[in-house]
Structures are given as C-alpha cells and as structure tokens.
Amino acid sequence: MPVLCWHQLRDWRPSDGAVARNELICPPRLFRGQLDALKHDEWTTISPDQYLTHLTTGAKLPPKAVILTFDDSQGSQISEGLPDLLARGMTATFFLMTVVFGNEGWKPNVTSNTWPTRA
C-alpha cells in the first residue's frame, strides 16, 4: 500500500538546507502537481481505517489505492494542502503533534480548533 507523506507546504527559503528541501518542504506548486499526477493516473485516496478494514475483513479496495498523510501539525497543511485536496475530491490523514497546541513558540500557533475532523 503506497503511503505518501508531507511535512511542510511552503516555498523554499535561502536558509533551508538540503535535507529540508529534499525531505521536509514541498512548495505548493509542486504539491498541486503531485496531486494532479495521482488524479491523472487514476489513484484513489483511502483512509488508514479503510486499509485496516481491508486487512481485517477482506473488504475490497480501489485498484490503485493510496494513503496521503501529513506530519507535524504545520499550518500550511491546512491553508495550502486542504483546499487542494478538497478541490480534487481527495482525502488525507493529518497526524497532529498535540504538544504544539497553544504553544506560542510554534509558528503558526496551532490550536485544536484549527484542524478539521475529516479531510
């Protein structure tokens, strides 16, 4: 089962190192291109719950199923990623770092009210 993960959706900055550019930061235009490529190649996004049901009960999955995930509670995942997902009828799983809720040192300041319950 392919699982794709994004951390930050923002443009690269001169201060970003090679690891950040290659593994952690995806400019929004590239993210949209990746989603468009998945749609073009007829991949269908599913949730981890759907995959678990498949594993435990044998429920059928679409022929080209993929799980999309976001790590680390970055605000750009909602401001940039969520509209792009919804525009394409795609779903994703957001893994939240609850330690950042209400932490003024974490920018943007993430609160439990910021995140949707379903995407």
pLDDT per position as a tens digit, 61-104: 999 999 999 997 677 888 889 999 999 999 999 887 777 667 66
pLDDT digits (tens, 9 = 90+) for 18-73: 998 999 999 999 999 999 999 999 999 999 999 999 999 999 999 999 999 999 76
Distance CA 78, CA 2 (A): 22
Closest CA to 117 of 103, 99, 96: 96
pLDDT at 36: 98
- 45: helix, strand or coil: strand
Question: What pLDDT is stored for residue 57 in this prediction?
Answer: 98
Residue 109 has pLDDT above 60, yes or no: no
* Residue 116: count of CB within 10 angstroms of its CB: 9
Per-residue confidence (pLDDT) for residue 75, from 0 to 100: 78
DSSP one-letter string for 57-83? H-----TTEEEEEEETT-THIIIIIHH
